[in-house]
Amino acid sequence: MGRITLDQVSKSFGEVEVIPPLDLTIDDGEFVVFVGPSGCGKSTLLRLIAGLEDVSSGEIRIDREPATHLPPSKRGLAMVFQSYALYPHMSVRKNIAFPMKMAGVPEDEQARKIADAATALNLTDYLDRRPGQLSGGQRQRVAIGRAIVREPAAFLFDEPLSNLDAALRVGMRLEISELHKRLATTMIYVTHDQVEAMTMADKIVVLRDGLIEQVGSPLDLYRAPRNLFVAGFIGSPRMNFVTGAGDRMGGAPTIGVRPEHIMASKESGPWKGTVGVSEHLGSDTFLHVHDTGLAETLTVRVGGEFDARHGDTVFLTPDDEKIHRFDADGSRIA
């Protein structure tokens, strides 16, 4: 149905190789997220799969069929863009109908599918409006509706929530996850937001400079990041990197401790520091601790409320079981 294989796929723009040859398999029905900082090649990789960019070398197969040289229109994939990319001169109904019109779907079937999609996406009242008359969230729903009616082999999402405000983003994130559960169709989702990656993905692909740094389930990446980059990228707040912590280093030049794996106390603990900023969220308190001699700032996440002010002395105790060790190259030491 929607198994996508990349075999030694690479992409160069002129002299510049943005994606060195890489292999990747996306299984049918999987929700895969490409995540990485801007410029890491995640969108380019998605566009290669979509066929919007030509590969420089290598082979793409969709459902075991070679697709490397197929135009986008023949790959049977649907894409949702960051800018929504709706047709401004068409009503919502016509926007959603467009892929079916291209595929020559009979009119009555078109009408039925439009009605179904509109119901599922809460768009029934807006079918006769133009995209310009809709809010950002509604526009993104239309874009998703346009993708659904194609019944594609896979959905491709290119940072679809980046243009939405924070509250709406959380809502749409859930909607897309639910859509995936309901349709069980392969989805490839590009984002720079590691929270989106962690919450939505079955499998995360972390990219940097066109290279795949690690592939795994969200918890695999959280528990066992393969290198410093992945360790720093996955998890929020960011993992603390510590040098010079004596015996705890276990011989490694750098160790990593997540903020939630450090206990804070006002009385005692192996690490001592001064509170710089404390952020009180109610559910959690984030302490930014300076002057520990281990790192410029250590971030600590304390569950619930913790009474600490700027300038207070705190003692920190890392959970030794959950310390990550990295060698001089930044690779994980097992």
Residues at the contact surface with another protein, assessed by CB under 8 A: 50-52, 71-74, 77-79, 81, 83, 85-89, 98-99, 102-103, 146, 150, 156
Q: What is the smallest separation between the CB atom of 72 and another protein, expressed in angstroms?
A: 4
**Considering beta carbons, is residue 131 or 259 the nearer one to another protein?**
131
74 versus 322: smaller Cβ distance to another protein: 74
Closer to another protein by CB, 73 or 133: give it.
Answer: 73
Contact by Cβ (8 Å): 255, 214 = no
Q: What's the rounded Cα separation, in Å, for the pair 268 and 88?
A: 63
C-alpha to C-alpha distances, 48 to 8, 51, 88, 127, nearest whole angstrom: 12, 5, 26, 32
Q: Whole-number minimum distance, CB 143 to another protein, in Å?
A: 8
β-pair type (271-280, 313-318): antiparallel
User: What is the nearest approach in angstroms of another protein to the Cβ of residue 194?
Assistant: 25
Nearest one of 73, 35, 98, 82 to 233, comparing CA atoms: 35
Dig out the tokens for 38 from the structure. 């801007």
Phi, psi of 211 (to 5 degrees): -100, 145
* Minimal distance, residue 126 CB to another protein, in Å: 19
State the Cα–Cα distance between residues 6 and 19, nearest whole angstrom: 12
- 156 or 172: CB nearest another protein: 156
Nearer to another protein, 94 or 280 (CB): 94
Min. distance of Cβ 277 from another protein in angstroms? 40
308 neighbors 287 (Cβ within 8 angstroms): yes
Contact (Cβ atoms closer than 8 angstroms) between residue 188 and residue 219: no
Strands of 174-312, DSSP E: 186-191, 203-208, 211-216, 240-242, 254-257, 262-265, 271-280, 284-290, 298-303
Q: Strand pairing of 298-303 and 284-290?
A: antiparallel
Give the nearest distance from C-beta 71 to another protein in angstroms.
7
Tell me which residue of 73, 96, 79, 77 sits closest to 158, measured CA to CA.
79
Specify the residue, 99 or 137, whose C-beta has the smaller distance to another protein.
99
- CB-based burial of residue 219 (10 Å sphere; 0-12 exposed, 13-18 middle, 19+ buried)? exposed
Smallest distance, another protein to C-beta of residue 89, A? 5
Closer of 71 and 311 to another protein (Cβ) = 71
Q: Between 143 and 230, whose beta carbon lies closer to another protein?
A: 143
Q: From the CB of 48, what's the least distance to another protein, in Å?
A: 13
